[in-house]
Structure 1
């Protein structure tokens, strides 16, 4: 099939799993151009305008690691898991004042802030404190607020809905590959949280990590799952292996092949073509993996995470903004 046909199927939201598999064989730059064309079509459609200057906006978000380390889950990639031995800062839930201070700082750059905590879920005391912090952020800043709090039940999701919070819960990879990276909780635990959140009317952001040893078919299966779940935003990460994690050792021993920049860019482009009406956002690992090619990813992106990540440092935010503007986009 010609790329023009893929483009036409994409804007009609008719791209299939089989189509996405076929796209993998195309040149990365052709894929990026097709993804950009799809993005431009939807931007113009959503804004009722053909003025690209008004529609080429990259939405910026950021996170704060509000509780770090001591996670009992055994995710192979995670520096915060007690099953991995990584030298990181470990602390309990940060006080409201500290989170609010960061929110006021990051508001100069970012449109939304996500409060992220380690662990499978949060206890009642932590949840109440987080809710109080969210209320304060919404009162004292113009930030949209997201929360990544692990597995949540219906009652907690209802409370978050009342504050108009976007939920974040990554699938990480495909259902078929998930047991290779985590066995202490189930894929369906995540699915249940996302389905309940969507049923209650919450916005949901979910995605995964490229470079865990999965195949490109696994990535597309994950995209298909996200499509079926009807999540609003797709968060894409590229593994930044931390010394002391299982993934780091597997890559060092050549048991897992390190992802290349071209492979990562192909995966990002296909995500946009396969999920044309969803917000595709690039998050952690871009600096480590893409290096000088980061700007090319913007062609397929609707959003970018800026600032520091959970346990790794991000790029200077002013440099990211300059990159966005130099590429002809706005933020």
Structure 2
């Protein structure tokens, strides 16, 4: 195995990763390595775990806008001045119809709602919708419903739903992007979900003005929380949000494709066995380099996102197959 690597240094990184001996400080020191070396190590780790399939997921924005939270990046916040569709919880029939359509392309389907919390009535309607999706499709169901209590988490567990709850960034940087709820609120929800046996997907957004060390701190928290899935996003600044204004004024810089790819590769090196997928923002940020991210990934989100459009699903399927990977359906 050692002789298969282009250098002993890269082999040492690989060995520390797969043996669970790599620490946050190790990852920080790797940042200055060439992006292609990092992707090479990430790919060798992926191969070690026999990860040749790309798992596809999709979402539906089931309740849009009027969110009282002040997340700097969010087009659905009442603190933003964006031109998005605003509506209450979509009817069961509409959500199920879309799920049935996406069943031909995707392995996972996530119901996402805006706001810090949903009402009791909304939660009951979502449970009914999940039951229908499970009855009418082969999709695994995920739910991103804000902060949930123990009884709500138990109800999702009974339906074998995977909870999605992003940390967004590191704890130290969180107050720079949101002050209406706390980082610890998110951590507590994830911990409660894990305690009752719920699978959890969590992650964050690259390019909020944080430096790479903040991203690595977030990776460390995700690793310690032992979530099953890692959802990585790259900021797509939407006009009317605070983060868009900060970029326009030069207060923060847009993330570069190379920086984003390095971050993805380091996430794999830090968490070799985890299910890592790339979600929003890949099209405008990575452009022609999207295919390189697959070397470090287990999954992609396909279709449209919450308030922005994705690219044609057929293009993503073609990219995956052209890179020599298989689609996990």
1:130 to 123, 126, 132: 126
Aligned CA RMSD, in angstroms, stands at: 0.7
For structure 1, the residue ranges without an aligned partner over 5 or more in a row are 44-54
Shift of 1:71: 0.2
TM-score of the superposition, structure 1-length normalised?
0.96
State the match for 1:40 in structure 2. 47
1:29 correspondence with 2:36? yes
For residue 279 of structure 1, the aligned residue among 272, 275, 279 is 275
Please tell me whether residue 180 in structure 1 is matched to residue 176 in structure 2.
Answer: yes
Write the mapping of 1:121-200 to structure 2, written as runs, cut at 5 A. 121-200=117-196
The TM-score, its normalising length taken from structure 2, stands at 0.97
* Distance of 1:89 and 1:281 partners within structure 2: 27
Q: Which residue of 2 aligns with 1:236?
A: 232
Distance 1:72 1:231 in 2: 27
Counterpart of 1:112? Answer: 108
Match of 1:16 among 16, 23, 48: 23
Aligned to 1:324: 320
Runs of 4+ more than 4 Å apart: none
Structure 2 gap segments, 5+ residues each: 1-7
- 1:257 corresponds to: 253
Q: Deviations over 1:10-65 (max 9, x none)?
A: 0111110011001101000000010000011012xxxxxxxxxxx41000000000
Q: How far did 1:126 drift?
A: 0.3
Q: Which residue of 1 aligns with 2:290?
A: 294
**Deviation per residue, 1:201-229 (Å, 9 max, x gap):** 00000000000000100000000000000
CA displacement, residues 276-317 of structure 1 (integer Å, 9 cap, x when unaligned): 011110000000100000000000000000000000000100
Secondary structure of 1:240's counterpart equals coil
Correspondences of 1:202-217 after superposition (within 5 Å): 202-217=198-213
Q: Aligned ranges for residues 52-131 of structure 1 at < 5 Å?
A: 55-131=51-127
Instruction: Kindly state the Cα deviation for residue 2 of structure 1 after the two structures are TM-superposed.
Output: 1.2
Output the CA distance in 1 between the equivalents of 2:9 and 2:245.
41
Distance 1:258 1:142 in 2: 39
Q: What is the DSSP-based 3-state SS (H/G/I as helix, E as strand, rest coil) of the residue aligned with 2:53?
A: coil
Distance, in Å, in 2 between the alignment partners of 1:23 and 1:306 is: 30
Match of 2:5 in 1: none
